Amino acid sequence: MDNTIRNVATRVKAGLPQTNTKVTFAWNDVTLENVRETVEAALTVALQNNWRRNGIPAEYECNVLHHLTAPRTRTVATITPEGAAAALSKLPKDAVLAALRAAGFDV
């Protein structure tokens, strides 16, 4: 398999400038099983983080393709109405109203 080159922008801390790094991923001797194990481990951590916030299910079927093709800003978590209300309650009322108006809500 060919090497893959990606440009990665990293900030030391939020608000600081990004530093760009050219990363070459060497795929020499990597097997499908290696890739599966790595993806499963990463998704397991993401799922566990979600379950800690929203409840741990007895069973769960993970659609790997869904998680791999979701936007970069994705999160496995879903927000509940209560979670949304709690998050919004921490913001200034004017900011919430302005965001709702900008989104087309008549408030």
Same domain for 64 and 90? no
Same domain for 49 and 15? yes
Same domain for 68 and 91? no
pLDDT at 86: 76
- Number of domains present in the structure of the chain: 2
What residues are paired with 20 via a beta bridge?
9
Same domain for 28 and 38? yes
Render each residue's pLDDT in the chain as its tens digit; 107 residues: 689 999 999 999 888 999 999 999 998 988 889 999 999 999 999 899 989 998 999 999 998 888 777 665 444 556 677 777 777 777 778 777 877 777 777 87
Q: Of 8, 3, 4, nearest to 72 (Cα)?
A: 8
Same domain for 18 and 69? yes
pLDDT at 58: 94
Same domain for 40 and 91? no
Same domain for 62 and 12? yes
Same domain for 48 and 18? yes
pLDDT at 41: 93
Is the model's pTM score more than 0.85?
no
Distance CA 7, CA 5 (A): 7
Q: Give the range of the structural domain holding residue 36, as residue numbers without chain letter.
A: 4-76
pLDDT at 98: 78
